[in-house]
Amino acid sequence: MAIANDDDAYSGLTKLDAAPLWRYLGDLFRPEPKSVAIPTIWHYQALREYAMYFAEHLPIEDAQRRVLMLVNPGLQEPPATVNTLYAGIQILLPGEQAPAHRHTSNAFRFVIEGSGVYTTVDGERVHMRPGDLLMTAGMQWHDHFHPADEPMMWLDGLDYPLINSLEAGFYEKFPDTYQKSTAPDDISTRQFIHGRLNPTWIPRTSPNTPVGNYPWSETERALSAIGDDVDGCEHDGIALEYTNPLNGGPVLPTIGCRVQRLKPGFSGRPRRQTPSVICHVVRGHGTTQVGETLLQWHPNDVFVIPGWSTYQHKNAATDDDAVLFTYSNEPVMKSLNLYREESL
Ligand code: 1HN
């Protein structure tokens, strides 16, 4: 049958599961990236009330993980916080235990409040205190147990938006509800505690950091050892990257983590970069201009800088530091040769 006119041609093509590239070119090949994620801030004090409500009304057995997902208004289905990364606030009550599972998604936890919980990762109990950064790399078994006496909250970071878009998501329940302890407690933290004295017997074959916990006591020591006589990064202040001590690289193949001290009155030079960043306020208060949006942050708030959005951090206090914990998909961008940045 002959094609009678353009309308016929376009609709006929659709029925063949084909499409005219010339009608898509402008959207598919932009001069520069335009993130669908929206600059957004989640205020901890508002979320905390809901975390406490569900802690009281939803048994952990019904939830598996009692977590409030931080869903970017531009990334609702499937829910994500920025394009490749997720953030959530998890709460566990005294006496509760979150059952063991594993998945190909890489994860970490950054502790917000409370202490006493330990997460068992591949048989090792790793204890959690405020400010600690705990790693759960892809396919490591993990469950959380709370033997102490106050509610505990932490930030979960995962790369599942990336893993699912790559169609590489696998998930398994542990054969038992919980893991048994099969290694000395906190050994993966203790044996790497110096940072540059590495145990010689640990194989260097994994792309993931061998460190279970980067304790806040050490992070704080590193931050305060760098005095005010150092300027640091003109965009991000005294920004330190958590590294894999065996190779100096990022802690996970898909997620890079940092801690940033913004000195009193710090006003960063604006820039944009291809990685998307999720920021958690450890202490202090200030503002971050992200594109057209001004985000005002306070302790424990979480906010996002979508990729290629111009951002500028400011510490609002002139007599106190502000400290941010940040994570991004920089390792992905760098390994795919897609990293770019521009100072403004
Ligand atoms: C997960 O396994 C945990 O183990 C937390 O604590 C948050 C969000 C999405 C998928 C898996 C956890 C998660 C998660």
Select from 158, 173, 178, 179 the residue to mutate for testing ligand 1; criterion: most ligand atoms less than 8 Å from CB: 158
Q: Are 276 and 84 in contact (CB under 8 A)?
A: yes
Q: How much is the pLDDT for 206?
A: 86
35 SS3 class: coil
CA 324 to chain centre: 12
Nearest Cα to Cα of residue 35 among 269, 342, 273: 273
Pick the residue whose CA is nearest to atom 3 on ligand 1: 65
Largest CA distance in the chain: 79
Consecutive 10-residue runs of the chain (344 residues): their mean pLDDT?
93 97 92 97 98 96 96 98 98 96 98 96 98 98 95 98 98 96 98 95 90 98 93 97 96 98 98 98 98 98 98 97 98 98 97
Nearest Cα to Cα of residue 132 among 148, 118, 147: 118
Rg (CA), the chain: 22
Q: CB within 8 A of 142, min separation 6: which ones?
A: 100, 101, 102, 107, 119, 120, 121, 122, 136
Q: How much is the pLDDT for 122?
A: 97
Q: How much is the pLDDT for 79?
A: 98
Q: Ligand 1 pocket, 160 CB below 6 A?
A: yes
Q: Distance (Å, rounded) from C-alpha 262 to C-alpha 287?
A: 11
Q: Are 257 and 326 in contact (CB under 8 A)?
A: yes
Q: How much is the pLDDT for 216?
A: 98
Q: Ligand 1 pocket, 108 CB below 6 A?
A: no
Domains and CATH numbers, the chain: 31-194+212-343 (2.60.120.10)
- 69 CA: nearest ligand 1 atom: 8
The rounded Å distance from CA 12 to ligand 1 centre is 45
Q: What is the pLDDT of residues 87-102, one digit of tens each?
A: 999 999 999 999 999 9
* Cα atoms in the Cβ-side hemisphere of radius 13 Å centred on 208: 17
Q: Ligand 1 pocket, 67 CB below 6 A?
A: yes
Q: Are 299 and 282 in contact (CB under 8 A)?
A: yes
Pick the residue whose CA is nearest to atom 8 on ligand 1: 158
Q: How much is the pLDDT for 199?
A: 96
Q: How much is the pLDDT for 227?
A: 86
Q: How much is the pLDDT for 217?
A: 97
Q: How much is the pLDDT for 207?
A: 84
The number of beta carbons lying within 10 Å of the beta carbon of residue 20 is: 11
